[in-house]
Structure 1
Amino acid sequence: MINLSGKPQIMKKVNNGLIKQVIKEKGSATNAEIVEDTGISATTVRTLLSKLILDKEIVNLGLDESSGGRRAERYALNLNNNLSLSFYVKDNSINYALSDALGDIIESKTIKFKKTEYQKTLTKFIDEIIKKYTIKIIGIGVSGVVDRGNYFSGKHLNNWKKINIGEYIEKKYNIPVVLENDLNAMAIGFSLNYIKEIDNLDIKSINVVYINFTEDGVGAGIISNGQLIRGENNFAGELGFMPISKQGNLEYLLSNNPDDKKYVEIVSQVINILNCIINPAFIVMGGSILRTNLIDEIKEACNIYAANNIISKIMLSENGAKDYLQGITYLTTEIMNSDVRIVKL
């Protein structure tokens, strides 16, 4: 457990985050409602609300209608002054979304660029966004293991490359940057999009594994009881390195173009392992090289070997790009509203 006592500036940021989270969840809130939901003293809440108004983080909506006593002032997030920029780069394209403090996407586009002009295009893109909007935080989806402002990527453990895109952008623009693994973002995005269709699902309790099959490798985003599973070194979900047999790991076996029968055997084995260890409600599969024509055979094979006939619901991802951007946007907005990032040193 991280001890925050004796650190007034950190506690102030934590309390600000709690206040903004209550206002976000309720849509608007009074001083009394914030005190009740956060447990912060009324005096402290009043002081922090005044500062948040001065900083244009929130706005005063005026007085509530009278219910017989003194009318209470109501506050809401300042949606026009608290925007986040979220994006990921794929196939010579920058896919981005601008979202307000409630996480609602107000603009979403794709920008094409030449491979040789990647950094120039990226810098120009951010420059134009910052000139037009007040950006409080930038979230970037990356394919690899995240380490603060950097990430490591590669198909083999002994030749991973370190890429410092987060550090570069944060130093250049003096705006906080959050890096998130692409599969984690996809898992969150899928969950958010899927629960809109299911009334009794809640993002805070959902259990999902999102597996992506691409030419760059096989990985998974894992959510257990509403929490992203990152692992000690942010290595959780790197399924490509999972040893499958004496012949090699998952990445090696799939890269050797196995026949359909062998492919079904390999993929169903991975799913059953995940089912036994994590027991998710849903296992979602997608990606450019997934053999979607074999999904029924994969399901049948999983049912045959399922322990005690317990097996996750296996689904195909309908729109991985949408899930990806939605996930980055959600995670970035949550961090923007929390006001503090606690990291391991």
Structure 2
Amino acid sequence: MAGFTGKPKTMKEINVALIKNELKKIGAATRAELSEITGISQTTVRSLLEELLQNNEVIRLGLDKSSGGRRAERYALNLEESLALAFYIRDNFIEYVISNPLREIIENARVEIGSTDYLYEIEKILDDIMKSKSNIKAIGIAVPGVVDIEKRKYLFGKNLKVWEESNIGEYIEEKYNIPVVLENDLNAMAFGHSICLMDRLDVDDLHILNMIYIHFTKSGVGSGIILNGELIHGGSNLAGEIGFIPLGDGQYLNSFIESEPEDYSYIDTVSRVIATTNCVINPDLVVVGGETFRENLINQIIERCETYIANKVMPEILIAEDSRRDCLTGIIELTIKLMYSGVKLVDNTKRNINRV
């Protein structure tokens, strides 16, 4: 960890996060194995594990078989002690999931809501959950809007010129004293789709993944973008808001879709949008779906795309099998990442900021 600086308390938090992350990845380890993997001294590992044991965040699994010397003790995360709570907001309902650090679902519910005051509705749900779940360590919320991740606020609105602001993440974090990650719902879907791909391919990393995930709903069209395995937010967190792509004559993609165009016009416009995004970000994979997407036209859309896109740079175009699953998977994983993220490190040699 040469080149990094921090106060003793900060470095302790970093080391705890490193140990937890490794236990999450590999399932169980001895003190010596954790020391070797993380680069933390065995003395420090021993001290931090004792503290984690006292806090019930880590459990002992027993002693390894003897190899001639002293038998080493093996440790693992207490999966029931640290839980993640993730919300997925839709127009007239809120779905939430409680999971352990391995994304194993402990509780899943869908709540019909009577207003679009999502803060009020989530607060009601949280007040009820907190009565029986004191081990919620992080909260994630997938929202339909432009998210300021650092401030945990978001902007929403169907009109490009008129936006409303909600401080939902900031408020919840302060009220319940639990860290909150706020993310755009389409970004959560794209991220969740990549997680599902990793699970299906049985790999730990998809750093080469380049994808745009386009989603059609009654509220409009949006997308989540992943380049080289990383979610793209943009300078003003507006990346992916393709519903505001201008089509000419004062019309945007959102208003075009809402006008319920004829199939021919729909096929041509959607194909042009895919071709445009292909020129800008060059994805290998385009995933399209959503409740209002005309799936029956997918083959014709692909054929029309081929007339707008050079054959050698034609992305694979697929239907999103389950956007709800993708969104929940994405926001759960982002919440778990927050739970085990530790703190920011400042590299004095490169002046970059990285997260553990």
With structure 2 as the length reference, what TM-score do the two structures score?
0.88
Matches of 2:147 and 2:14 in 1, distance apart? 24
What does the per-residue CA deviation read over 1:8-38, in whole Å, with 9 as the maximum and x for residues that have no partner?
Answer: 3333222222211111111111122222222
Measure how far apart 1:316 and its partner are. Answer: 1.1
Measure how far apart 1:201 and its partner are. Answer: 8.5
Partner of 1:174: 177
1:4–1:11 CA contact under 8 A, matched in 2: no
Measure how far apart 1:88 and its partner are. Answer: 1.8
Residue 233 (str. 1) matches residue 274 (str. 2): no
Matches of 2:51 and 2:269 in 1, distance apart? 57
Letter in 1 for 2:126: I
Partner of 1:139: 140
Partner of 1:102: 102
Select between 196-205 and 36-45 the one with higher mean Cα deviation.
196-205
Letter in 1 for 2:214: I
Partner of 1:314: 317
What does the per-residue CA deviation read over 1:95-151, in whole Å, with 9 as the maximum and x for residues that have no partner?
Answer: 011011222222211122333886665333212211212111111110111122210
Change in 2 beyond 3 A, CA 1:8/1:204: farther
Measure how far apart 1:200 and its partner are. Answer: 6.6
What does the per-residue CA deviation read over 1:233-285, in whole Å, with 9 as the maximum and x for residues that have no partner?
Answer: 22111112223446543224333433222222221122122223323232111
Matches of 2:116 and 2:289 in 1, distance apart? 29
Equivalent residue pairs, number? 342
Matches of 1:48 and 1:208 in 2, distance apart? 40
Q: Pairwise mapping of residues 199-218 of structure 1 onto structure 2 (< 5 A)?
A: 202-218=205-221
Letter in 2 for 1:311: M
Measure how far apart 1:202 and its partner are. Answer: 4.3
Select between 279-288 and 326-335 the one with higher mean Cα deviation.
279-288
Structure 2 gaps of 5+ residues are 346-352
Partner of 1:12: 12
Partner of 1:60: 60
Change in 2 beyond 3 A, CA 1:272/1:24: same
What does the per-residue CA deviation read over 1:300-328, in whole Å, with 9 as the maximum and x for residues that have no partner?
Answer: 01122222432111111121111111111
Partner of 2:123: 123
Change in 2 beyond 3 A, CA 1:117/1:273: closer
Matches of 1:146 and 1:4 in 2, distance apart? 30
Letter in 1 for 2:143: V
Partner of 1:46: 46
Partner of 1:114: 114
Matches of 1:305 and 1:88 in 2, distance apart? 35
- Supply the RMSD in Å over aligned alpha carbons: 2.4
Identity %: 49
2:143–2:182 CA contact under 8 A, matched in 1: yes
Partner of 1:304: 307
Measure how far apart 1:185 and its partner are. Answer: 0.7
Partner of 2:348: none
Select between 47-56 and 155-164 the one with higher mean Cα deviation.
47-56
Matches of 1:20 and 1:168 in 2, distance apart? 27
Letter in 2 for 1:215: K
Matches of 1:163 and 1:116 in 2, distance apart? 11
1:204–1:225 CA contact under 8 A, matched in 2: yes
Matches of 1:115 and 1:26 in 2, distance apart? 44
What does the per-residue CA deviation read over 1:17-69, in whole Å, with 9 as the maximum and x for residues that have no partner?
Answer: 22111111111111222222222232332222222222222122232111122
Matches of 1:271 and 1:92 in 2, distance apart? 29
Structure 1 gaps of 5+ residues are none
What does the per-residue CA deviation read over 1:212-248, in whole Å, with 9 as the maximum and x for residues that have no partner?
Answer: 1122221111112221111222211111222344654
Matches of 1:280 and 1:117 in 2, distance apart? 36
Matches of 1:336 and 1:161 in 2, distance apart? 29
2:92–2:116 CA contact under 8 A, matched in 1: no
1:4–1:10 CA contact under 8 A, matched in 2: no
Matches of 1:327 and 1:118 in 2, distance apart? 20
Matches of 1:264 and 1:207 in 2, distance apart? 24
Matches of 1:25 and 1:138 in 2, distance apart? 21
Partner of 1:163: 166
Letter in 1 for 2:35: V
Matches of 2:152 and 2:78 in 1, distance apart? 28
With structure 1 as the length reference, what TM-score do the two structures score?
0.90
